Amino acid sequence: MWCGLSVPQIVGAGLTIGLATALSPRTKINDAYDFVVVGGGQAGLVLGARLSDSNHTVLVLESGGDGDEYRTRIDTPADSYFDSLWTTPLNWDFYTAKQPNAEDREIEWPRGKVLGGSSAINGLYMTRPGKDEINAWQAMLGDMDGADNWSWDSFYAALKKSETFTPPSDAIAEQGGITWNSSNHGTEGPIHASYPDYTFDQVGDWSQSLQSIGVDISSNMYGGDVWGAEVSTSCINPSNWTRSYSRTGYLDPLPDRTNYDVLANAHVTRLIFDNSTSTNLTASSVEYTSDNGTTKSTVRVKKEVILASGSVGSPAVLLYSGVGPKDVLSAAGVDLVSELPGVGQHLQDHISATVKWSTSVDTAGSIWYENGADKNNTNYLSYIDDAIAYVNSTALYGSKVGEYEKKFLAQMDEYTPNTTTDDGVIAGYKAIYNTTASTIFTSPMGQIELLFMNSDANGDVGISAALQHPFSHGRIYINSSDPMDYPVIDPNYFANPSDIEILLEGIKMARKIGETKPISNNFTEEITPGSSVQTDEDWTQWLREQATTEFHPSSSCAMLPQDQGGVVDANLRVYGLANVRVADASIVPIALSSHLMASTYGVAEQASTIILEYYDPSSATDPAFSSSNVTAVSSSTATPKSDKKSSAAKAIRGLSNSWIPFVLGSMHLGVIFNLLL
Ligand SMILES: Cc1cc2nc3c(=O)[nH]c(=O)nc-3n(C[C@H](O)[C@H](O)[C@H](O)COP(=O)(O)OP(=O)(O)OC[C@H]3O[C@@H](n4cnc5c(N)ncnc54)[C@H](O)[C@@H]3O)c2cc1C
Ligand SMILES: *[C@@H]1O[C@H](CO)[C@@H](O)[C@H](O)[C@H]1NC(C)=O
Ligand SMILES: *[C@@H]1O[C@H](CO)[C@@H](O)[C@H](O)[C@H]1NC(C)=O
Ligand SMILES: *[C@@H]1O[C@H](CO)[C@@H](O)[C@H](O)[C@H]1NC(C)=O
Ligand SMILES: *[C@@H]1O[C@H](CO)[C@@H](O)[C@H](O)[C@H]1NC(C)=O
Ligand SMILES: *[C@@H]1O[C@H](CO)[C@@H](O)[C@H](O)[C@H]1NC(C)=O
Ligand SMILES: *[C@@H]1O[C@H](CO)[C@@H](O)[C@H](O)[C@H]1NC(C)=O
Ligand SMILES: *[C@@H]1O[C@H](CO)[C@@H](O)[C@H](O)[C@H]1NC(C)=O
Ligand SMILES: *[C@@H]1O[C@H](CO)[C@@H](O)[C@H](O)[C@H]1NC(C)=O
Ligand SMILES: *[C@@H]1O[C@H](CO)[C@@H](O)[C@H](O)[C@H]1NC(C)=O
Ligand SMILES: *[C@@H]1O[C@H](CO)[C@@H](O)[C@H](O)[C@H]1NC(C)=O
Ligand SMILES: *[C@@H]1O[C@H](CO)[C@@H](O)[C@H](O)[C@H]1NC(C)=O
Ligand SMILES: *[C@@H]1O[C@H](CO)[C@@H](O)[C@H](O)[C@H]1NC(C)=O
């Protein structure tokens, strides 16, 4: 079951403390909105903020709560490791289906379930995709209307629009060996891109060791050249060393907007269509539940529904609404409303594994677990790992890149997923595969990402290798007609043997770095997998047993031509539906050489511009929200305005009796400073 929380809450956007009296908390949502955004996660709150900066009315519906009771753990970067939100209701806590090529394991797949979504629970890496990848995405769209918006130049501008960059202090820059180019970054966006205020000598040694084994220090990582070693930016607000995520960036600082409501604890069960035109259906309302499906409410849609429920949630909402592959819907017992074979298909995910060593020096983990002197200091608590490298095919295969490209292409037909017989979906698989082999593998883009990990519970250090461009495609589907049931997640890891072969080269490189000076100076002994793993066969078997998600699923509602199993067109409209778009990590058609957060901000910013331009051709949105605004968010229970929905209304009113209104802002500051100072 989707574990719904009990009390629906309206978060009236932007209750500036001094103005709160005249404005919210609002206790009612309206019967109808121009735009209904499904999912108040990372992308959903961007859409809510941008679309409501207009005269349109906007409602965001989020399954999870507001997260306020976990706010300190969300805000504190180091808590990502040491007091993780994975164990809380803020994590959907999905698991994959059994993975036959990974020892039949069911692999844990966390996803955020809270305002801010996965950006509230993720690892804060703020990396960007590359120019060649984004241009390859655009090329896959051909001459489709709107394809220009997915060129590197257009996407790069959207990435910059979402961020404000602050360089590290001189001391941190020196110790961590950090270099940057401010001109690649944004200066006025809602999300802070910066660096922790604490680092380790080993972080500073990273790039030098990489260089010694032939992976150069990168010179333009944030300008589209995603290869080489560096220290990445993280989504940290340097004014108080807190996590900067879509709630703090795009919701909390908003001025009060009476046209914008955010309803938490509201799980969308389906879209309801006006079926007067069967080939181009209009979503007339959105159905949701605040009590685990016992009762349902609906809200009318005046203009559009925008799905932003993520790579798992967006295909699931479409499928439960009857939009998807015929075979999947009929097996699940859901009435077909609009046949769209690509929904949930083309799923791609990064898969990774970590070599670990014991070390003779302090690590982030040893300071935490052994109560080191800095443990309670704000600057230490801002530390999260950020030494990174993207290794391209030249660094992996030298002069044999062309040979490998041919070999991979030759395996395309043999490993075509057999879970669909749809010609379009298969054509899409081949188009993505061909782009991955012929355009991306042969480009200078990273194929493997390497990460230095300093936060192990035993005080150990690790080096991870993660496959960035999998040839194996999986899918998200449903096997029930009850929208409270979790969808099935099948990433199909290692179905194509090329994936494990490439990751094998990456993991051997991880070991090699750990044996290369200067970073190796204070590594004492390899403890995982250790000396028993030596041959390629040993490593391959170990990867099947150990490799796990790097948390970057994409492409389950891929932007592709309709005859290639696409779900959305270049304007993000779902094929066959008149007024439904998808705008989140699920629309990216090819896996990118990057953690997905920055790209998801880029997608959501582009989507907002496209939608506003469609309705208000002359509109220009604020480039930024003032970061100096001290604001608060207030919560309230929802009571539907109409008493006609009697059972739902009663259930919600019953709960509302026990609800105590509060203004978060001042309380919140108090809590944080007590813990951090
Ligand atoms: C543990 C973890 C670590 C990560 N680390 C990093 C990192 O360090 N750097 C990085 O760049 N990326 C990282 N990522 C990936 C990145 O966070 C995600 O790719 C990105 O946030 C996805 O954004 P989204 O808007 O597509 O989905 P989400 O942010 O997941 O938002 C989807 C929202 O929709 C809601 N929802 C789902 N179904 C429904 C429904 N039916 N009705 C209403 N609401 C619904 C969900 O509760 C959620 O809030 C990590 C992810 C995880 C999970
Ligand atoms: C909203 O409408 C008013 C009155 O029609 C108009 O003056 C204003 O410019 C509009 N604002 C936006 C952001 O479109
Ligand atoms: C998207 O493309 C259209 C047509 O080329 C253009 O007018 C518009 O400005 C683009 N939007 C963005 C956000 O780049
Ligand atoms: C590959 O990456 C290295 C850095 O590791 C870089 O020097 C090189 O230019 C990149 N491109 C190609 C085609 O090798
Ligand atoms: C439209 O939907 C309604 C309610 O689901 C149903 O009763 C009706 O038969 C449908 N009409 C058509 C033309 O499909
Ligand atoms: C919904 O289910 C969760 C988990 O089973 C439970 O904790 C919660 O109380 C339920 N909420 C309601 C309103 O029934
Ligand atoms: C940090 O705070 C905790 C809880 O207050 C305390 O137990 C611990 O001793 C403190 N550690 C240091 C190093 O100050
Ligand atoms: C699909 O392929 C898998 C793995 O190769 C195989 O086990 C399975 O039997 C195939 N299924 C069908 C329906 O052919
Ligand atoms: C594969 O991609 C290459 C490079 O973009 C292109 O030249 C070729 O036509 C593509 N082949 C197929 C079968 O799509
Ligand atoms: C760590 O390595 C350096 C050399 O880079 C050495 O000078 C130092 O003594 C080592 N520290 C410990 C605790 O082993
Ligand atoms: C579907 O309806 C929308 C809105 O009425 C319209 O803009 C669009 O062109 C239609 N699409 C098709 C394929 O008929
Ligand atoms: C707060 O933000 C609003 C909207 O951006 C702006 O008009 C106002 O001047 C800001 N207030 C302060 C104190 O910065
Ligand atoms: C951190 O500072 C920002 C202003 O830059 C503020 O909006 C936010 O509330 C602060 N967070 C905490 C936990 O104090």
Contact between residue 414 and residue 470 where contact means Cβ atoms under 8 Å apart: no
pLDDT of residue 619: 63
> What is the band of 91 on the pLDDT scale with cuts at 50, 70, 90?
very high
Q: What is the pLDDT of residues 43-78, one digit of tens each?
A: 999 999 999 999 999 999 999 999 999 999 999 999
Contact between residue 465 and residue 506 where contact means Cβ atoms under 8 Å apart: yes
621 or 616: whose pLDDT is higher?
A: 616
Q: Is 63 in the pocket of ligand 1 (CB under 6 A)?
A: yes
pLDDT of residue 617: 78
Residue 349 phi, psi (nearest 5): -145, 150
* Closest C-alpha residue for ligand 4 atom 7: 216
Cα distances (angstroms) measured from residue 5 to each of 88, 520, 654: 12, 48, 15
* Segments of 82-206 assigned E as strands: 94-95, 108-109, 125-126, 163-165, 191-193
Comparing CA positions, the residue from 261, 231, 232, 249 lying closest to residue 190 is 249
Q: Which residues' Cβ are closer than 6 Å to ligand 3?
A: 146, 148-149, 154, 606, 609-610
643 or 125: whose pLDDT is higher?
A: 125
Residue 56 phi, psi (nearest 5): -85, 150
Binding-site residue set = 114, 268
Contact between residue 244 and residue 260 where contact means Cβ atoms under 8 Å apart: no
Q: What is the pLDDT of residues 249-261, one digit of tens each?
A: 999 999 888 899 9
Cα–Cα distance between 9 and 29 in angstroms, integer? Answer: 10
pLDDT of residue 664: 24
Q: Is 629 in the pocket of ligand 12 (CB under 6 A)?
A: yes
12 pLDDT higher than 60:
no
Cα–chain center distance at 82: 21
Cα–Cα distance between 82 and 369 in angstroms, integer? Answer: 9
Q: Is 521 in the pocket of ligand 10 (CB under 6 A)?
A: yes
Kindly identify the ligand whose nearest atom is closest to the C-alpha of 14.
12
3-state SS assignment for residue 14: strand
Mean pLDDT of 263-268: 96
Q: What is the pLDDT of residues 479-500, one digit of tens each?
A: 999 999 999 999 999 999 999 9
Cα–Cα distance between 672 and 242 in angstroms, integer? Answer: 10
Q: What is the pLDDT of residues 399-458, one digit of tens each?
A: 999 999 999 999 999 999 999 999 999 999 999 999 999 999 999 999 999 999 999 999
Kindly identify the ligand whose nearest atom is closest to the C-alpha of 273.
5
**Is 668 an annotated catalytic residue?**
no
Q: Is 4 in the pocket of ligand 6 (CB under 6 A)?
A: yes
Cα–Cα distance between 335 and 320 in angstroms, integer? Answer: 9
Cα–chain center distance at 72: 21
Structure tokens at 143: 């001459």
Binding-site residue set for FAD = 114, 268
Task: Output DSSP code: residue 521.
Answer: G
| Beta partners for residue 389, in sequence order | 229, 450
1 pLDDT higher than 70:
no
> What is the band of 569 on the pLDDT scale with cuts at 50, 70, 90?
very high
The model's pTM? 0.90
* Segments of 326-412 assigned E as strands: 338-339, 351-359, 387-392
CA of 627 to the centre of ligand 12 (A): 9
Contact between residue 41 and residue 116 where contact means Cβ atoms under 8 Å apart: yes
Residue 37 phi, psi (nearest 5): -100, 125
Burial 491-525 (b: 16+ CB within 10 A, else e): bbbbbbbbbbbbbbbbbebbbbbbebeebbebbee
17 pLDDT higher than 70:
no
CA of 277 to the centre of ligand 4 (A): 53
646 pLDDT higher than 90:
no
Mean pLDDT of 526-544: 98
Which residue has 């204070």 as its token pair?
Answer: 522
Comparing CA positions, the residue from 425, 452, 282, 431 lying closest to residue 342 is 425
> What is the band of 159 on the pLDDT scale with cuts at 50, 70, 90?
very high
pLDDT of residue 11: 55
3-state SS assignment for residue 372: coil
* Closest C-alpha residue for ligand 9 atom 1: 434
Residue-by-residue DSSP string for 435-456: IIIIIITTSSSEEEEEEEE---
Kindly identify the ligand whose nearest atom is closest to the C-alpha of 335.
5
CA of 576 to the centre of ligand 11 (A): 8
Q: Is 68 in the pocket of ligand 13 (CB under 6 A)?
A: no
Catalytic residue of the set 350, 469, 552, 668: 552
Q: Is 38 in the pocket of ligand 1 (CB under 6 A)?
A: yes
CA of 323 to the centre of ligand 8 (A): 25
3-state SS assignment for residue 44: helix
User: Which of 522, 523, 524, 525 for mutating ligand 10's site (highest number of atoms within 8 Å of CB)?
Assistant: 522
Cα–Cα distance between 558 and 311 in angstroms, integer? Answer: 10
Kindly identify the ligand whose nearest atom is closest to the C-alpha of 675.
7
634 pLDDT higher than 70:
no
Q: What is the pLDDT of residues 207-225, one digit of tens each?
A: 999 999 999 999 999 999 9
Q: Is 430 in the pocket of ligand 7 (CB under 6 A)?
A: no
Q: Which of 393-397, 416-420, 670-674 is predicted least confidently?
A: 670-674
Structure tokens at 22: 């005249």
> What is the band of 616 on the pLDDT scale with cuts at 50, 70, 90?
confident
Mean pLDDT of 101-125: 98
Cα–Cα distance between 655 and 290 in angstroms, integer? Answer: 11
**Is 552 an annotated catalytic residue?**
yes
3-state SS assignment for residue 653: helix
627 pLDDT higher than 70:
no
Mean pLDDT of 26-31: 81
Comparing CA positions, the residue from 385, 348, 573, 557 lying closest to residue 473 is 348
Comparing CA positions, the residue from 100, 44, 6, 34 lying closest to residue 490 is 100
Q: Is 55 in the pocket of ligand 2 (CB under 6 A)?
A: yes
pLDDT of residue 278: 74
242 pLDDT higher than 70:
yes
Contact between residue 39 and residue 62 where contact means Cβ atoms under 8 Å apart: yes
Average model confidence (pLDDT) for the chain?
Answer: 89
Mean pLDDT of 198-215: 97
Shortest-distance atom of ligand 6 to CA 6: 13
Of the chain, the percentage scoring pLDDT greater than 90 comes to: 85
3-state secondary structure 102-135: HCCECCEECCECECCHHHHCCCCEECCCCHHHHH
21 pLDDT higher than 50:
no
Structure tokens at 90: 């803020």
